[in-house]
Amino acid sequence: MLEWIKDARHFDGIRRERGDFLLIFFWGKFSDAARRALADLEKFARDYPDLPICAVDVEKVKSVHVEYGVTSVPTVLVLKDKKAAGIIEGVQSAAFYETRLAGAAPARYARPAKKKTRRITVYTGPGCPACATVKAYLRQNKVAFREVDIGRDRQAAEKVFRRSGQMAVPQTEINGRLVVGFDKSRLNGLLGIQTERRE
């Protein structure tokens, strides 16, 4: 999270608290480059919410950049164990910051894993027992899905049959991959459903 430094005392408190690793972004509204760099650093900070990043407006808090010998903005300074361990000057992209800075941080500041979103559609037909079995299995495993009745949606029927090469239901689409029929092991593999093995 990007935290703006209010004064020298505030900065000393942050430095004591985050002594092992801290990123300091030196900024000034007088600099077009610093204003451009701020947007990318804020994006980087949003992607790494636990990473300690503070921003210093060099016009308001004058002592910090002097202490570290920073003479231009934008500049990002890496502190490890309260000592300068790296410096990045100029406008950089969020991807550049991620490559250079996230790798330098201790493991506990790693980017949080994103939850995978699953798009699941079950193509069904009227009076199909296997369709009911697939839907019941998905519900039993708390897997949300969308149902498309090919008897009512001919375009969807043609599209899914063209993709799979099979005129059969059910067909379950999981993130773009099709499973024809009630293929439990394939569904488990694509959905990450764990099953108990019997010896």
What is the structure's pLDDT at 184? 93
Q: What is the full per-residue pLDDT of the chain (199 aa) written as tens digits?
A: 789 999 999 999 998 888 789 999 999 999 999 999 998 889 888 888 888 999 999 999 999 999 999 999 999 999 988 888 889 999 988 888 887 876 677 777 766 665 566 789 999 999 999 999 999 999 998 899 999 999 999 999 999 999 999 989 999 999 889 999 999 999 988 888 876 444 3
What is the structure's pLDDT at 136? 96
What is the structure's pLDDT at 117? 64
Look at domain 120-191 and name its CATH class.
alpha beta
Which fold does the domain 2-109 belong to in CATH? Answer: Glutaredoxin (3.40.30)
Please state, in angstroms and rounded to a whole number, the distance separating the CA atoms of residues 42 and 36. 11
Is the Cβ–Cβ distance between 74 and 25 less than 8 Å? yes
What is the structure's pLDDT at 112? 64
Angle of helix 32-47 versus helix 94-101 axis, rounded to 10: 60
What is the structure's pLDDT at 197? 46
What is the structure's pLDDT at 115? 55
The backbone region for 148, taken as left when phi is positive above 0, alpha when psi lies in -120 to 50, beta otherwise, is beta
The reply to whether 120-191 shares the fold of 2-109 is yes
CB count, 10 Å around CB of 45? 20
Q: Kindly list the domain boundaries of the chain, sorted by start residue.
A: 2-109, 120-191
Quick one: which of 94, 11, 13 has its CA closest to 48? 94
Q: Which phi and psi angles does 56 have, rounded to 5°?
A: -120, 120
Please state, in angstroms and rounded to a whole number, the distance separating the CA atoms of residues 173 and 190. 10
Sequence letter at residue 64: V
